[in-house]
Amino acid sequence: MVDFDYFGPAEVYTANKRRGGRHLMTYRKFETAASAIRYLIEELPGTKISGAVLEVEEERYRHKDIRKLYDSNSYPLRRQS
């Protein structure tokens, strides 16, 4: 993650639970990885991030890596207080 590009485009996949225990995937595209990370950490309910996937430049990141990217000193956006 040393060379992670926060300014490149990103895609986010989240699992939404439905009746009967089945999951549907929701897809969102973001202009920058930084804004996708912000959405995942600051706006998505905590229970949903565990099933979320961030895809940047054909690399996939799960919740622990997403959190590390958000907490990194390289993260370019202002964090929620």
10-59 tens-digit pLDDT? 999 998 766 666 677 889 999 999 999 999 999 987 777 888 999 999 99
Model-level pTM?
Answer: 0.87
**C-alpha distances in angstroms, 67 versus 17, 22, 23, 24?**
22, 26, 23, 23
Q: How far apart are CA 13 and CA 54, in angstroms?
A: 7
Q: How far apart are CA 69 and CA 43, in angstroms?
A: 16
Tokens of 46: 């905590």
Give residue 16's pLDDT: 75
